[in-house]
Structure 1
């Protein structure tokens, strides 16, 4: 299944603010069966928009729209990306969310693999991390399938108990 990532832009985020249809027209892709995916709230989009306005060069290290070929058409299926460029220790954190109708189709695996390839293409990146609620067993399994190892848990005041996962550069 062909999957690609399209970096967020202020124009794309503005289109998404108007409607899913406006976003898909902007991206030149087919509409998903529903939008937005989980964890794609206004506050999240506003954070990305503010980061891009402050420094457009950060775009590769922020959010991306996930586009996948579904029934022969490039279709918007989710979001994925990073919480910023590598830190001083060479770490980046990934996050992702797929519209539930597209779960269990291999999209998540392709999406995480693309994030890993993109991150490790930068020689500064030594470690990629991901946090997921401990109850999200499918997401935890996806990370394991993509080579991530469990490195512990932590409690977040809003999100509850999170499983911490990491992948080290070979």
Structure 2
């Protein structure tokens, strides 16, 4: 009887201690086969008025290569299977009229949640270093009416860094 009580107490104690790990810097929103990660406790800003249309910054190869240096420095070295996972990451960046990042939404595959749990600080570091202040690149933006511009959004894909800047990876 004492052994059974000890076993039951051990099981209860271990289940109490084995809490599911969760992101500490992000709020999670599962959707279909993806999980959307947003800044913890921050709501998405509403952009009113003219927004940034025909934004070409992520599609200019030289700009992608400049940002890839930061991306690779933070996340590499990775195995080929881990690179396949990183290719599936995308982030939607929201900017103010001063081209400062005000919000982000990172989309990750649901099946790789644990892979990103251990890299959540790196995800934040990547966004902060790469996109927190894009004002120095203002000439790269295609803003139709700068006097009415209140902000905008664009998408960044990890895949683009591996496609357009793979020559920057260490062999």
TM-score by length of 1: 0.28
- The structure with higher relative contact order (CA 8 Å, sep 6+) is 2
Larger Rg: 2
| Structure with greater strand percent | 1
TM-score by length of 2: 0.28
| Structure with greater helix percent | 2
